[in-house]
Amino acid sequence: MERYIFLDVDGVLNSNSTTEYSPDGFTGVSDENIIVLKQILDITGAKIILSSTWRFDWEINYDKCAPDGKYLTDRLKEFEIRIDDKILGEDTPYRGGEINSYVKQHDLKNWIVIDDEYFLDFHKYNIEEEGKNARLLRTNYKYGLRISDIEKVKNLFNLKEN
């Protein structure tokens, strides 16, 4: 069964200590955080669905990406990571509904969210950090994605050691 990760960027692939900037002058991404994402992808085989506000600059067709979208694509490509798709919708505090729409439209069964924020509607769509509805790995924006998060992702996907 295919796995999917709805991926945020800010607070996940960067942190308070990230010194790199995107072409548009926003905080860029950090090798340290990308390396952890690569390890997660190698273990899970998951596909990336961009749920971050960075999605507004990113398109599947590289030539249609805005400068920050190209930057993100290029930086991830350095680690042999690709973004497979993105959610649609406006930049609102209701990202859960946008993720839920994508899940229903594509009939996804095995998916999680990696984000540093808990959006107002996550509970409504059963996107929780704990319990039977656990689908959310909430990172700390101060550090972004960390090695300790790998085990949490494995647990969210119910992956057992061989």
Dihedral pair phi/psi, residue 115, rounded to 5°: -155, 155
Q: Residue 151 pLDDT > 60, yes or no?
A: yes
The model's confidence at residue 113, banded by pLDDT at 50, 70 and 90, is very high
Question: Could you identify the residue written with the tokens 């991404």?
Answer: 29
Q: Is residue 81 within 8 Å of 34, Cβ to Cβ? A: yes
- Summarize pLDDT for 22-53 with one digit per residue, the tens: 999 999 999 999 999 999 999 999 999 999 99
32, 4, 15, 49: which is closest to 153 by C-alpha? 4
The model's confidence at residue 135, banded by pLDDT at 50, 70 and 90, is very high
Q: Where are the domains of the chain?
A: 4-156
Mean pLDDT for all residues in the chain: 94
Q: Is residue 9 within 8 Å of 3, Cβ to Cβ? A: no
CATH number of 4-156: 3.40.50.1000
Stronger pLDDT, 83 or 91, i.e. the higher one: 83
Q: Is residue 23 within 8 Å of 43, Cβ to Cβ? A: no
Stronger pLDDT, 90 or 73, i.e. the higher one: 73
Read off the pTM.
0.95
